[in-house]
């Protein structure tokens, strides 16, 4: 490899490592409405600094943030999720909500329907 290719590869890996931070997102729904609560991490490993963002009707605001106290954003988020649930909202982690939505949208295949028929015929 030439030096330019190696340099580009190193820079790309560095940029990807910087963007590999996984935020925690929760989706709350009620009667066709949606609220999104996200913990945004600057450093996933350290979990600080962080901030809790709340999105309602397309407007996002920061509710809490922490610079030094690990676990602060998570505690505030969990307490806020419990409040939302108390107000009648159904809240799930974004991955769980997407998985359920995907499962609900899948149509049974012809093969799957045949398998059900076979099982019921015994």
Judge whether residue 111 has pLDDT over 90: no
- How many domains does the chain contain in total? 1
Structural domain span for residue 52 = 19-96
Is residue 57 in a domain? yes
Is residue 29 in a domain? yes
Judge whether residue 27 has pLDDT over 60: yes
Is residue 104 in a domain? no
Is residue 102 in a domain? no
pLDDT in tens, 50-64: 999 999 999 999 999
DSSP letter string, 34-89? EEEEEEEES-TTT--SEEEEEEETTEEEEEEEESS-TTHHHHHHHHHHHHHHHTT-
Is residue 107 in a domain? no
Judge whether residue 80 has pLDDT over 90: yes
Judge whether residue 74 has pLDDT over 90: yes
Is residue 81 in a domain? yes
């Amino acid at each position: 490899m030439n030096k330019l290719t190696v340099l580009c590869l190193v820079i790309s890996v560095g940029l990807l490592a910087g963007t590999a931070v996984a935020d925690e997102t929760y989706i709350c729904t009620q009667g066709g409405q949606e609220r999104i609560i996200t913990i945004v991490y600057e450093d996933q490993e350290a979990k600080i600094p962080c901030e809790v963002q709340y999105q309602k009707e397309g407007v996002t605001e920061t509710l809490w943030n922490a610079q030094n106290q690990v676990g602060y954003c998570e505690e505030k988020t969990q307490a806020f999720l419990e409040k939302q649930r108390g107000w009648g909202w159904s809240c799930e982690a974004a991955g769980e909500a997407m998985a359920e939505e995907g499962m609900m949208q899948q149509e049974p295949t012809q093969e799957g329907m045949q398998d059900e028929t076979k099982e019921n015929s015994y």
